[in-house]
Chain A
Amino acid sequence: MSAPGETVSANLRPARLSGALSVAVAFGALVSLGGGLTTVFAVEALGLALLAVGATVRRDRSRPAGDALVAVALAVVLGALAFLWIDTRDLLVAARAVPGMVGVLVLALGVIPARGRGSRRLVKVGSGLVLLSVFATAVVLKPPLQTLLVGTVATVLAWDFGENAIGLGAQLGRRAETYRVELAHGFASAAVGAGAVVAGKTVAGVGTPGFPLGVFALLLTGLLLLAGALHD
């Protein structure tokens, strides 16, 4: 969509609220997986906040100052990763935390672009990496099912918010007032997410003790194919 006569720059960057929510939820997914690492995550959060400030400064105030801030932000996130390694020196810890930490950063770069209009691909890759962390945690820590379900659902929501932020940005831009629509979309998706957690726990309560895993998987495959068919 475009307004032909609108020649003032429409600032078609991803919508603020959804973008911020996206990063926050992805970060929350990472933290919710547990396993300590509080300091490391705190440092990463600082880096992400700096990135947001830097991108804004770069765009609205001064380009060199913004560039400097973005560089510092990236350095802080790298510092968090280095600290993680120095602190634990544990490959297993690295395997479950690093993809997610990098993923949140990639996602943030997708929805808080220093330039351009955001990138759906970065959002996809970023949330994919966070999901990888969820799977790795499942293998390494074997946490309860609820933790894993919440982590997965949060990752999907992070992607959903990020994609929505980019779509809204491309169609309406930041000068338009969009927060109501963003909230409505966010609540709807979050409700579905809550439903997904409940559904996962219910299925676990009903099914797994009796069924062999293979039969159960076959059932799920059938459901997925059905869901896929609904999309066409």
Chain B
Amino acid sequence: MTDRRTRRTERWRGVIGVALVALTAGLLLTLPNVVLLSVAGVVFAAYPALTREPAPVLSLERRLDDERPGQGDPVEVTVELANEGDATLFDCRVVDGVPETLRVTDGAPRHAGVLRPGDSLTFSYTVRAERGKHPFDPATVVVRDPAGAREVEQSVARDTEIDCTVADAAAPLRDQTLADVGRVTADDGGSGVEFHRTREYQRGDAPSRIDWKRFARTGSLSTVEFRRERAASVVLVVDAREPAYRGREGEPHAVAYSVSGARQVAASLAGSRNRVGVAALGRSFAWLEPGAGRSHVDDVEALLATHEALSPTPPDGDCPLDDQVERLRERLDDRSQVVLFSPLTDDAICETARSIEARGHAVTVVSPTVTDRDGPERRLAVAERRHRLSDLRNAGIRVVEWAPERPLAAALAATSEGVVA
């Protein structure tokens, strides 16, 4: 239970005015009955003072009928809000913190009730599961006194997560392809400890690397190559500037998809040898140094889930992109590769991708498709985006178009096999 804010609604203030009008009118017209009407006004004006400011002590329980659903499955969420305090809450309104990447398909994540001490209210609604992990945000609860003069707003947290990452037959390539997303160059053969391949002997190869058993069997010289130990670091950059907060009517915006995509890539890179870092360009610059290991994975998750730059609501003001890109460049080391998640809604972000590529970092752009299919302005936006995509491809940048209703792994596999590109 965190920040509690009390707001005075001042909704009864107007009654004083009404009473004054009655008073004046009654005096002017010398009608005692009209003067007496202001007594009613006094009673209503005093009403809020007779009620106490609510001090809610609440706990929240959230149950899912399926914690590991498949893509597109309906998940019924049941929320139980209990009054743990010893005062009755006359007007308790709750809005559940539905993950921004999920859609409510049935019922409403909102409810209101009167809660006596020890009582609880229960409501349920249904969301459609999408690929990825979806942690719930804290529920927002507003408690009003009976007069409605004061309202106390607070959030009630309960860690719940819908985990829709079960691999299915549609995406068998998932892990390999996701790990491959940054063109991880450790695939080159060379010296190391892990077997990579054998190739024909070339003059100058070290004798210790010659496959002598094979020579004894076939009489031809071949050289064993090992996987080169050169773990790359991959920096996942999320475009969270104001223009990136675009989405189809009634669906999550691109930033939500980008964060979800970054989470998926980070999770699969964690299984490989590569180091993962995260950056966000938005209302502020977010940065997490590339690293590996379990605790680092947690840090990545935490940054993606909670950093203010990746908030579900668009920033109000301007985001100084140049400055943030400069800070990003300073932090990238020579071997860092960049995966940029962006809906590519403007030219500035394309310029950013090109400039990072020009500095010698391999850049992959993963672009969730959020432009609508119809409507004339939409058509223009689609055309502009297509133009930007081909621009980037011409600059040698690998571009992955990702329709968010499909798994990201499938989109990556399609591009790496040249189906889409």
Query: Which of A50-58, A99-107, A208-216 binds B?
Result: A208-216
Q: Decide: B36 and A204 in contact? CB cutoff 8 A.
A: yes
- A217 with B90, Cβ < 8 A, contacts A131-B18, A227-B46 known: no
A162 to chain B, nearest CB (A): 11
Is A185's beta carbon under 8 Å from chain B?
yes
> Is there a chain B Cβ closer than 8 Å to A124's Cβ?
yes
B60 within 8 A of A: no
Evaluate whether A1 and B142 lie within 8 angstroms (CB atoms) in the complex, with A184-B90, A184-B114 already known: yes
Which chain A residues numbered 172 to 201 have a C-beta less than 8 Å away from chain B? Answer: 172-173, 175-178, 180-181, 184-185, 188-189, 192-193, 195-197, 199-200
Residue among B29, B37, B97 making CB contact with A200, cutoff 8 Å: B37
Is B312 interfacial (CB 8 A cutoff)? yes
Q: How far, in angstroms, from A218 to B20 measured CA to CA in the complex?
A: 11
Partner of B38, one of A2, A224, A230: A224
A220 proximal to B (CB < 8 A): yes
Closest to A9 in B: B250
Stretch of B5-13, B64-72, B206-214 contacting A (4+ beta carbons < 8 Å): B5-13
Q: Does A46 contact B (CB under 8 A)?
A: no
Q: Is the CB of A220 within 8 A of B23?
A: yes
B217–chain A nearest beta-carbon distance, Å: 62
Q: A153-B40, A203-B36, A227-B45 are in contact. Are A184 and B95 (CB under 8 A)?
A: no
Min CB distance A31 to B, Å, is 18
Query: Distance (Å) between the CB of B34 and the closest chain A CB?
Result: 5
Contact A231 B10 (CB under 8 A): yes
* Given contact pairs A173-B108, A177-B111, A3 touches B95 in the complex (Cβ within 8 A): yes
* Interface pair A185/B46, CB less than 8 Å apart: no
Kindly identify, within residues 16 to 30 of chain B, every residue whose CB is under 8 Å from any CB belonging to chain A: 16, 18-20, 22-23, 25-27, 29-30
> How many Å lie between the Cα of A180 and that of B33 in the bound state?
36
B127 within 8 Å of A by Cβ?
Answer: yes
- A224–B23 touching, CB < 8 Å: yes
Q: Is A167 an interface residue (CB 8 A)?
A: yes
Q: How many residues of B contact A (CB 8 A)?
A: 75
Q: List 24 A–B pairs whose Cβ atoms lie within 8 Å, in order of A's numbering.
A: A1-B95, A1-B142, A4-B100, A5-B100, A5-B127, A134-B37, A135-B22, A135-B25, A145-B36, A156-B40, A163-B11, A173-B110, A175-B108, A176-B123, A181-B113, A184-B114, A184-B146, A199-B43, A200-B37, A214-B27, A217-B27, A220-B19, A224-B38, A231-B13
Binding site for B on A (CB under 8 A): 1-10, 124, 131, 134-135, 138-139, 142, 144-145, 148-149, 152-153, 156, 159-160, 163-164, 167-168, 171-173, 175-178, 180-181, 184-185, 188-189, 192-193, 195-197, 199-200, 203-204, 208, 213-214, 216-217, 220-221, 223-224, 227-228, 230-231
Given A6-B98, A220-B19, A224-B41: 18 more A-B contacts, CB < 8 Å: A7-B252, A9-B250, A10-B110, A139-B34, A144-B33, A145-B33, A152-B41, A171-B110, A172-B112, A173-B108, A181-B92, A192-B47, A199-B39, A216-B35, A230-B48, A231-B10, A231-B16, A231-B45
